[in-house]
């Protein structure tokens, strides 16, 4: 296993999981509690282009978005003391999985299909990957994507937890691992 020189406590935290699982919301809350900078990769790309992710997909194509996503994650995963939320498709790319797992603490926010589907209506407009798909297609995507999130350092099922409870669980779990591995 590749070792890097960043002390365990200073490693950046990366949130992964399916679209709408709460990476952006929880990442921001955790960053605030830890007094760390928060970086949301989608928001960073949106500010660079001055466009929403949906508009970037429509005007420049998914491939260009994926390249920018990869470049930014490769850069920020080498920074210390950040909280980074990546898009739900980021872990499809091996280079992204590798850089995050080698340099950061990767936290998987898991959610059951039954809980997730209640969020579908609020997600579609801003998630181009969901647009024009039937509910059966989306369910298939949901289960297929589970495989890419299997590589992580910690995981939490958030079905019955609100934002505050999830954030606090993440903090408690990090504190335990910082004590154990210090
Ligand atoms: N634990 C939670 N309980 C209820 N709603 C949540 C929770 N976490 C996130 N949400 C809501 O789900 C939606 C998607 O969250 P978001 O943070 O954008 O997810 P992601 O970044 O993983 O796509 C938002 O409306 C957010 O307020
Ligand atoms: O899963 C995906 O392929 C995507 C997830 C989105 O991020 P969230 O997971 O934050 O919704 C965003 O990166 C883009 O719409 C593509
Ligand atoms: Mg997000």
pLDDT band at 1 (very low <50, low <70, confident <90, very high): very low
Establish if 177 belongs to a structural domain.
no
Please, what is the Cα angle at 28 between 124 and 162, to 5 degrees?
A: 70
Establish if 96 belongs to a structural domain.
yes
Domain extent for 157: 9-170
Give the CATH number for residue 57.
3.40.50.300
Look up the pTM and report it: 0.97
Residues 25/74, Cβ–Cβ less than 8 Å: no
Establish if 151 belongs to a structural domain.
yes
Render pLDDT for 98-124 as a digit per residue (tens, 0 to 9). Answer: 999 999 999 999 999 999 999 999 999
Establish if 176 belongs to a structural domain.
no
Substitution site in 16, 17, 18, 25 for ligand 1 pocket (most atoms within 8 Å of beta carbon): 25
Which residues are 39's β-sheet partners?
84
Instruction: Copy the structure tokens of residue 78.
Output: 């080498």
Which residues are 110's β-sheet partners?
157
Establish if 71 belongs to a structural domain.
yes
pLDDT exceeds cutoff 70 at 4: no
What domain count does the chain have?
1
Which ipTM score applies to this complex?
0.99
Please, what is the Cα angle at 9 between 74 and 90, to 5 degrees?
A: 25
CA of 125 to the centre of ligand 1 (A): 14
Establish if 182 belongs to a structural domain.
no
CA of 163 to the centre of ligand 1 (A): 8
pLDDT exceeds cutoff 60 at 3: no
Establish if 1 belongs to a structural domain.
no
Ligand nearest to the CA of 15: 1
Establish if 130 belongs to a structural domain.
yes
Measured CA to CA, the distance from residue 74 to residue 76 in angstroms comes to 6
């Amino acid at each position: 296993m590749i070792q890097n020189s960043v002390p365990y406590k200073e490693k950046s935290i990366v949130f992964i999981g399916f679209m709408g699982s709460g990476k952006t919301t929880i990442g921001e809350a955790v960053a605030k509690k830890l007094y760390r900078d928060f970086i949301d990769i989608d928001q960073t790309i949106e500010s660079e282009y001055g466009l929403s992710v949906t508009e970037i997909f429509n005007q420049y194509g998914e491939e260009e978005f994926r390249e920018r996503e990869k470049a930014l994650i490769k850069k920020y995963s080498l920074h210390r003391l950040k909280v980074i939320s990546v898009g739900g498709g980021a872990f499809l790319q091996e280079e992204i999985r590798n850089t995050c797992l080698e340099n950061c603490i990767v936290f998987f926010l898991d959610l059951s299909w039954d809980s997730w589907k209640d969020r579908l209506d609020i997600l579609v407009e801003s998630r181009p990957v969901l647009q024009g798909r039937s509910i059966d297609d989306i369910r298939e995507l949901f289960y297929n994507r589970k495989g890419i999130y299997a590589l992580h350092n910690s995981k939490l099922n958030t079905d019955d937890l609100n934002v505050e409870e999830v954030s606090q669980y993440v903090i408690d779990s990090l504190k335990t691992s910082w004590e154990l591995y210090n």
